[in-house]
Amino acid sequence: MPVFRHQVHSLKAPSDAQKLIRAVKDVRRKGMLELHMGDGAIYPNGAVPFAAAYDHFRKNGELIKVASVSPEVTRMRVLNPSVLNAGKDQEFLNVVWRYQTPEEANRLCTGFINALSESAECAPGVLNSLEWCIFEVLDNVFQHSGAHEGFAMMQIHRKNRNCTVTVSDTGIGIHRSFLEAGVHRSDDAYEAIKNAVQERVTSKTKNMGNGLFGLIRVVGIGEGQLCIQSGRGHMTYRDQTLDGGASFSVPVIDDDHHGTTVDWQVSLNREVTMQHALPASRFADVSLRLENLEDGEGNHLITVAELEEGVGARSGAEKVRFRLENLIKEGAYPLTLDFRGLSIVSSSFADEVLGKLALRMGLMDFMSAFRLVNLTPTVKSIVDRAIQQRLAEGDAETPARI
């Protein structure tokens, strides 16, 4: 059987998936396609649609052999997407995920947001608005595409202080979704995408049609960028400007599988709320993350002993600090930290979490924002010393305050 080599140098755009689709079609009934996955750059907008297309071809019996694969392709699960496992700690960032039910979409969304909250300090509203947008786009796969599964990836760019999310499917595409529903007639796939991001436009007549409209509003307020590739159409939204087009030269899997990829970036520094994004909807920025922290009296409380990272390593403590900073910005003010059951904490934990929070917020604001309760004399001594030393020494970002 003839073997046809297909070299994948990098995964940086939806066009990389299109090249795979074209290669499979070219060798179909001629022989086997041999994939060579190089060690070039991998971004979500390239990796996720590639993973979706490859998975579709593999499940449908196309003759594809993976001859070589780079460590990065393996680590990021491009050819073998992660799936959710109950009760297991999983790495949610920088890997491709597969989800197959609305319940899995919800769990994946929660995993993404929790991972982001522990990895970077976010401006007020960023986590809530991202959570809403991610679930809406994940759920669109089941609502509109006709596909039975979706693929997704989140990546944080710490240097640029932004977050990227990509969601792909191999369903019927936005244009055909409208055509089959008999609504919002569009001349081509690009016109269909432009219709899809308008307020109250949906292929399900009983739905509100706020998903992609809310997303484009959040991206605009968050000074980000949105790219949608669906079938032979593509659209980019940036700086309040839409651009795009449609071309028959863009390959699709087949008439029933045009596929859709939604890729967006938002700044972690830019405050954004769903009330601003969807003002007419009277959207209430309710955070389930905050509600889950409420005790019987409505106070926000975290039991320090139950933190999964533990209270020993500085690396785990940094995640705790990010989480606490973001919870305060989301509205958990004041936040009670209950040290019940802890006879000791490490000095590195006390410094990385409480010392640095006191330094960056200022001691008075820190004491207003956090209530430390049930500390043993030993733990209190360690915490007090860590805060005092950090306030006196400062760090690379904040000068000493005393």
Domains of the chain: 3-75 (3.30.750), 97-281 (3.30.565.10), 288-393 (3.30.750)
Alpha helices in 230-283 (DSSP H): 274-277
* Straight-line distance from the first to the last Cα atom of the chain, in angstroms, rounded to the nearest whole number: 76
What single DSSP character describes residue 323? H
Whether residue 2 is preceded by a cis peptide bond, meaning omega within 30 degrees of 0, is: no
Give the integer Cα–Cα distance in Å for 116 and 181: 37
Strands (DSSP E) contained in 1-75 are 3-8, 32-37, 64-69
Give the integer Cα–Cα distance in Å for 299 and 297: 6
**pLDDT per residue of the chain (402 residues) written in tens, 0 to 9:** 899 999 999 999 999 999 999 999 999 989 999 999 999 999 999 999 999 999 999 999 999 999 999 999 999 999 999 999 866 678 999 999 999 999 999 999 999 999 999 999 999 999 999 998 999 999 999 988 999 999 999 999 988 999 999 999 999 999 998 888 776 678 899 999 999 998 755 545 444 446 788 899 999 998 999 999 999 999 999 998 999 999 999 999 999 999 999 999 999 999 987 777 776 554 555 566 788 888 877 789 999 988 755 555 566 889 999 999 999 998 898 999 999 999 888 889 999 999 999 999 999 999 999 999 999 999 999 999 999 999 999 988 889 887
- Closest-CA residue to 172 (of 145, 192, 149, 196): 145
Give the integer Cα–Cα distance in Å for 231 and 349: 50
